[in-house]
């Protein structure tokens, strides 16, 4: 069984106390007892001279150096692993994850609207905070209320569309005031005449499973 650093230092303490060990050993003991109360106390208890074989001193010194070297490698590797895990988690939760814009927190009642122009083109208009969305996630709803993700979804009987605004984690957690008032973006959705079955457009808050009507066929 190998000895730990304290045990190895303890082997050297009598030599150190008598000032008969090598300069290298002396330095190693001095360094260790500066941080280790146990070994320092042990040294303070020593007063009696002991005769030691210098060959033993060198062998102990080699074992201490090896032990310290291994400890440094293990601690370094552990720190590297912990740092990598922390960065991965940070990246995932702060920067790579998407968050749904909350209808109330982001003032979406005021900041998103669906409007149609004289050609029957239907537009999604986003203002202010709603412009922070990096992704507009669309979905469709059939006459039975199923969406694209339901297995019974009837793609030949789509009666409504819904949209969910997503922000990147960095934006969701960061300062909302980055986007000042007055910004407006328009996005073409579809032509009303090309999709005569679409009756309603909703904002869909998929976190709380709430739908808000943005547009109804007039």
Q: Which residues bind Zn ion (CB under 5 A)?
A: 6, 36, 39
99 neighbors 172 (Cβ within 8 angstroms): yes
Q: Which residues contact 143 (CB under 8 A, 6 or more apart)?
A: 154, 157, 159
Q: Considering the complex, state which of residue 36 and residue 183 has its C-beta at the smaller distance from Zn ion.
A: 36
User: Which residue, 36 or 58, is less far from Zn ion as judged by CB?
Assistant: 36
Dihedral sign for Cα 194, 198, 202, 205, please: negative
Between CA 191 and CA 182 the distance in angstroms is: 27
Q: What's the min distance (Å) between Cβ of 8 and Zn ion? A: 9
Tell me the closest approach of the beta carbon of residue 63 to Zn ion, in angstroms: 14
| Cβ at position 73, least distance to Zn ion in Å | 20
Yes or no: say if 130 and 112 are a contact pair by the CB < 8 Å rule.
yes
Using alpha carbons, list the distances in angstroms from residue 128 to 11, 131, 162, 204. Answer: 72, 6, 20, 19
Q: Which is nearer to Zn ion, 39 or 201 (CB)?
A: 39
Smallest distance, Å, CB 39 to Zn ion? Answer: 3
User: In terms of CB distance, is 6 or 83 closer to Zn ion?
Assistant: 6
- Least CB distance from residue 83 to Zn ion, whole Å? 28
- For Zn ion, the closer of residues 40 and 192 by Cβ is 40
């Amino acid at each position: 069984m190998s000895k730990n650093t304290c045990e190895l230092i303890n082997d050297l303490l009598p030599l150190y106390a008598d000032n008969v060990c090598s300069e290298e050993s002396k330095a190693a003991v001095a360094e260790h007892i500066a941080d280790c109360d146990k070994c320092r106390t042990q040294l303070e208890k020593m007063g009696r001279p002991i005769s030691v074989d210098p060959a033993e001193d060198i062998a102990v010194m080699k074992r201490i150096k090896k032990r310290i070297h291994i400890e440094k490698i293990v601690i370094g590797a552990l720190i590297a692993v912990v740092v990598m895990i922390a960065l991965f988690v940070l990246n995932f939760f702060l920067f790579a994850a998407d968050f749904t814009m909350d209808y109330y927190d982001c003032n979406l009642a005021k900041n998103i609207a669906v409007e149609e122009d004289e050609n029957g083109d239907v537009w999604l208009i986003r203002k202010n905070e709603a412009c922070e969305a990096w992704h507009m996630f669309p979905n469709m709803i059939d006459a039975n209320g199923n969406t694209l993700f339901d297995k019974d979804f009837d793609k030949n009987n789509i009666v409504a569309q819904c949209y969910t605004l997503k922000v990147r984690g960095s934006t969701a957690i960061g300062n909302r005031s980055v986007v000042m008032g007055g910004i407006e973006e328009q996005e073409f959705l579809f032509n009303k005449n090309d999709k005569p079955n679409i009756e309603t457009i909703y904002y869909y808050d998929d976190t709380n499973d709430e739908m808000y009507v943005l547009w109804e066929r007039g």
